[in-house]
Chain A
Amino acid sequence: MIPSAFAYHRPKSVNEAVALLAELGEDARPLAGGHSLIPIMKLRLAAPSDLVDLAGIADLKGIREDGSDIVIGAMTTQHELIGSDLLAGKVPILRETALLIADPQVRYVGTIGGNAANGDPINDMPAVMLALDATYELAGKGGTRKVAARRYYRGTYDTAIEPGEILTAIRVPTPPSGHGHAYEKLKRKVGDYATAAAAVVLTISGGTVASCAIALTNVGETPLLAEEAAAIVTGSRLEAETVKKAMAAAEAITAPASDRRGTPQYRTKVAGVLVARALDRAKARAA
């Protein structure tokens, strides 16, 4: 219930934050919404020496259009994502997903950066970012760099972010107007992590799938991009047989953990079912 002691810092800019992290060393952690980090600190599974609170950095907030991209500040809360008319209109899958994350109180405080960056396979945004082919903008002592979400996740809590770097923004290529989307998540209850989930973004042209991206949550050590499944449905009219093949292809890439949510076999099969349902809903939404 009670965390170990630490020193607290509240920088006012990104430069200040990365300078602090560099100076304080490996046991310092950035603090975003805190609703992943603070619970594990309370269980004493993490005991950082220092917390660098990013809440005072204005540059990390905001949602804006930048050409054919939408750029979302890493400290944007799930609540702000849900309330953004820009996102509701241009990237509706983000709102749908955010509403399925945790509960109202957590959504008020939890950030998209926190959900995307730490490499916990239970988080929902990573799979969505894979499906959207988003790019993560990072800042560190050495400067800024960009990493594609599809190349960011390596293993459980193992990502491309370097010690001392922070995620400053997520850059999402704006999906074409009239695209279809769905985030289909099976969970035991509100506030529970996904037993499995599937993110689908697609476009339909003349009744046929012109483009498709499919990604899976919490059925592997990282979010999984189901490239083969997406390739199978691309060019099809999402006939029953085609969808079945896509399900099998998605199932084939899973390696779920076994926990109270179910056996690996169950979670794999459910992932397939959720892919089918997400494809169905995305198709219905596509213009």
Chain B
Amino acid sequence: MAKTRISLTVNGREVEELVEPRMLLIHFLREQLNLTGPHIGCETSHCGACTVDLDGKSVKSCTVFAVQANGADIVTIEGIAAADGTLHALQEGFREMHGLQCGFCTPGMITRGYRLLQENPNPSEEEIRVGISGNLCRCTGYQNIVKAIQYAAAKLAGATVQEAAE
């Protein structure tokens, strides 16, 4: 099938590429833009490892065609830290609270957390659990991921945070 040109912004950078209509956004990001942070964990749109932030929405990039993202503004895990490299509060929180083990779900989880905290800057534990219910993790049992997001919420709000995982 003939390729089509798309233009979009990815992690603050203007991008223009040729893609087949059927190219999934996740493959576009990983293969064509070499952004290998978002991962593929399933083919039925359940696991959320491919989650990116698209026009202010948490989206499973495996269930979107790159052509649908023409004109979009996308943030992946690679764009979560500040421009000078300072880690986002979420990235810090995941490390402080041991919110990751194998790291495979982590990019999608943090990218989802990034949008969740903008939807709701002070979520309860239950709201966090519902908020990340589109992201599967096999290693952590989620408990420390919840703590990581709570850490980040507190830090972003300027409150003092727990020094270390309990």
Residues in chain A within 8 A of chain B (CB atoms): 1-8, 10, 31, 34-35, 38-39, 42-43, 51, 53, 55, 79, 102-106, 108-109, 190-191
Contacts and interface: CB of A to CB of B under 8 A. Distances in A.
8 contacts: A5-B1, A5-B21, A7-B1, A7-B2, A38-B65, A109-B60, A109-B64, A191-B46
Contacts of B48: 103, 105
A10 B133 CA distance: 32
B112 A104 contact: yes
A3 B45 contact: no
B16 interface: no
B149 to A, nearest CB: 13
A6 B19 CA distance: 12
B131 interface: yes
B45 A106 contact: yes
Contacts of B51: 105
B125 interface: no
Given A7-B1, A55-B68, A191-B133, A106 B22 contact: no
Given A35-B45, A51-B21, A190 B130 contact: yes
Contacts of A38: 45, 63-65
A113 to B, nearest CB: 16
A2 B31 CA distance: 14
Contact of B1 (A2, A6, A190): A6
B97 interface: no
A165 to B, nearest CB: 22
A34 B68 contact: yes
A108 B64 CA distance: 12
B59 A39 contact: no
A4 B45 contact: no
A7 B62 CA distance: 19
Given A3-B22, A39-B63, 17 more contacts: A5-B21, A10-B67, A34-B64, A35-B60, A35-B63, A38-B63, A39-B44, A42-B62, A43-B43, A102-B134, A104-B58, A104-B130, A104-B131, A104-B132, A105-B59, A105-B112, A109-B60
B78 interface: no
Contact of B68 (A6, A42, A53, A79): A53
B54 to A, nearest CB: 8
B57 interface: yes
A79 B59 CA distance: 12
B4 interface: yes
A103 B21 contact: no
A1 B1 CA distance: 18
A76 to B, nearest CB: 14
B17 interface: no
A109 B63 CA distance: 10
